[in-house]
Structures are given as C-alpha cells and as structure tokens.
Amino acid sequence: MDAGTAVTKRALTRDALLSVVAPMFNEAANAAPFVEEVLAAVDALGLPCAHELVLVDDGSWDGTSETLDAIAQKYPGALRVVHLTRNFGHAAAVSAGLDHARGAAVILMDADRQDDPAAFGPFLQKWQEGCEVVYAQRVLREESPPKRALFWLFYRAFAWMANVRIPLDAGNFALLDRRVVKQLQALPERNRYLPGLRAWVGFKQAGVPVPRRARYDQQARVGFRGLWTLAMNAVFSFSYVPLFVFRIAGLLSLGLSLAVILFALYHKFFTGRAVLAWASQLVTTSFLGGINLLGIGLLGEYIARIYDEVKARPIYIVDRVVEPPKH
C-alpha cells in the first residue's frame, strides 16, 4: 500500500484527551442544560480517556459570562471558559475555542441544542477508523421552510462554484483530529468560513448523517445579516466564479455593442435610413452602466477582503480564561 493512502487506526487510550468546543453568545438560559447534556453524552460513551469542554463566551451581555463561571466551579477540571473582550461573531469564537482546546480529537458544535450529542459516538468511531475529519451531514432540519430552502440552495450553489470539493449540507458540527486543528490554526485568514477551510486542508474526511434539531429558543443569534456575511465569505474566499460571470457579461455586452454599430453603419451606407440615436444610446449606456457597477461591486468584495487581510488584526481578543482545577 502506498503511504498516501495508508489509514492510521487509532485507539482511544487512557492518556488521550477529547475536547468539545462550543461558542456562546447570549445563551444564559441554555448554558447549564447544554453543559449537562454534553457531559452526560460523553459519560455515556464510557471512554477510557479524559475529556474537557471548552466554552467561548463571545461577548455576551445577558449574564452568560457569570453563569458559565459558576458552572465551571461545579465541574472542576472538566470545563474551560474563554471570555472574549466583545462579540466577535460565531466564526471568531470558534477559532478562539479551537485555540484553547488541547484534545487529540476536538468536537466542534453549537451551544443552542441544534447539534445532537448523539453524534459523538459515530464521530469517534470514524476517527478511530482513521478519519481526520468527521462532519455531520444534516439530513433533516427542524427549521422554518424558507430557511431550509435557502440553506439547501446555498450549499448546492456554493459547492458548484467553490474551487475545492465541498460536501453538501455540512456545517460546523464536526470532529477534527489534532493535525487538522493545527493546520486550521496555521491559516492566517481573517474571513473564516470553517466548512470551506476544513474541506481545503484535506486529510481523510467522512460525513455522518445527523438530524439537526430545533433551536431551544427559536431566536437565532447569528441572524439574517450574519448568515448573508457568512455566505459572502464562503463565496469570495473559495471561488472566482463571480469574476468569471462578470467577464462573460462584459464579452456579451461587447458583442451586442458591435452588432448595434454594424447595424447603424449598414443603414448609413446601404439603405440611407437613419437609426434613432437617442433610443439606442439610452439602451446601451444604461446597460453598460449597470454591468460596470455590478463589476465594481464584485471587485469591491474581493478588495475589501484583501484590505481585511492586510490590516492583519487578530481574529479575536481574549479577556480572561476561567478553568477551575481538579482538586
């Protein structure tokens, strides 16, 4: 067997550590039930190894911070709470979580009960069989039909235009091997679309079908604007298709203008019939104006991202880390 296709089977030993990472933004009401559910699920697996839960408080202002610190005291040695200095957004909070996890395997999930801990078992199974990335493939979504339809469309359109192979219906919920976490940490990008970056780093990957549950409080913290930003980050970080479309539109409009010029010349020299100047000009200028503006807008999306990268601000800032030691 050649070295590139060799599969490393892993055994969970006593010295191994499993991390579960979750970002939280204003989830005070759900903090305790969430921690309980996750720790119970891990306990139920009866693993020989130790585990830790890394929770990132992404600048919450509803008491999540204090609640998490209190919960950490209840589970000494099992919880690490990373408080950020303000709300940096879901992707940044996830990066902070990954940077503070120490496990040989790291499970990344949302803290709103949508990601079912029942998937931990199948995740670990695939990891032990040799996969470095095991992602949840959302087979069912307990969400509103318009949101479901938009996600369905987004995953397909994005997979079609992305310059890496992106698995369909796979969000953030996944298990990552330490090697993958290291590679993700080494990527300097500030606009981080994790499912894209995760596909980009490669390694052996597998999907596990997991139904996505309903949010415990029906109040999305990311919101439509956040999802739109995420979608734009995905597209402009992993695809040049928008530029290609713009180029095709440019070529088409050039062809159209040539046809109009030839049409006018033909009438001038061969039939002598005048072409109505104002009508043709109005159509062509507004058409070209529209295409130009669209093109500038699209270029702007790429340039804004270059600007973000050049500024090289940190992805997040940590205020404090709370980690009660085991006695």
Q: What residues make contact with ligand UDP under the rule CB under 6 A? A: 22-25, 27, 58, 87, 89-90, 93, 110-112, 114, 215, 220-222
Binder of residue 93, out of Mg ion, ligand UDP, none (CB less than 5 to 8 A by kind): ligand UDP
Closer by beta carbon to ligand UDP, 59 or else 103: 59
Residue with tokens 């903090």: 31
Closest separation in Å from C-beta 173 to ligand UDP = 10
Binder of residue 148, out of Mg ion, ligand UDP, none (CB less than 5 to 8 A by kind): none
What is the rounded CA–CA span in Å between residue 44 and residue 222?
31
Closer by beta carbon to ligand UDP, 217 or else 309: 217
Contact 110, 221 (CB under 8 A): no
Cβ contacts of 5 within 8 Å, gap of 6 or more:
none
Binder of residue 132, out of ligand UDP, Mg ion, none (CB less than 5 to 8 A by kind): none
Binder of residue 58, out of Mg ion, ligand UDP, none (CB less than 5 to 8 A by kind): ligand UDP
Write the interaction track for Mg ion spanning residues 55-94; mark x where CB under 5 A is met and - where it is not: ----------------------------------------
Closer by beta carbon to ligand UDP, 92 or else 131: 92
Return the residues of window 120-179 that contact Mg ion according to CB under 5 A. none
Return the residues of window 92-111 that contact Mg ion according to CB under 5 A. 110
Q: How many residues does this entry show for the chain? A: 327
Residue with tokens 């980050």: 233
Binder of residue 221, out of ligand UDP, Mg ion, none (CB less than 5 to 8 A by kind): ligand UDP
Binder of residue 111, out of Mg ion, ligand UDP, none (CB less than 5 to 8 A by kind): ligand UDP
Q: Label each residue of the chain as H, E or C.
A: CCHHHCCCCCCCCCCCEEEEEEEECCCHHHHHHHHHHHHHHHHHCCCCCEEEEEEEECCCCCCHHHHHHHHHHHCCCCEEEEEECCCCCHHHHHHHHHHCCCCCEEEECCCCCCCCHHHHHHHHHHHHCCCCEEEEEEEEECCCHHHHHHHHHHHHHHHHHCCCCCCCCEEEEEEEEHHHHHHHHHCCCCCCCHHHHHHHHCCCEEEEEEEECCCCCCCCCCHHHHHHHHHHHHHHHHCCHHHHHHHHHHHHHHHHHHHHHHHHHHHHHHHCCCCCHHHHHHHHHHHHHHHHHHHHHHHHHHHHHHHHHHHCCCCCCEEEEECCCCC
Closest separation in Å from C-beta 138 to Mg ion = 11
Could you say whether residue 114 binds Mg ion (CB under 5 A)?
yes
Closest separation in Å from C-beta 84 to ligand UDP = 9
Could you say whether residue 112 binds Mg ion (CB under 5 A)?
yes
Closest separation in Å from C-beta 113 to Mg ion = 8
Closest separation in Å from C-beta 110 to Mg ion = 5
Closer by beta carbon to Mg ion, 27 or else 110: 110
Closest separation in Å from C-beta 152 to ligand UDP = 14
Closer by beta carbon to ligand UDP, 25 or else 246: 25
Closer by beta carbon to ligand UDP, 95 or else 204: 95
What is the token pair recorded at 287?
């058409």
Q: Please give the residue ranges that form the binding site for Mg ion (CB under 5 A).
A: 110, 112, 114
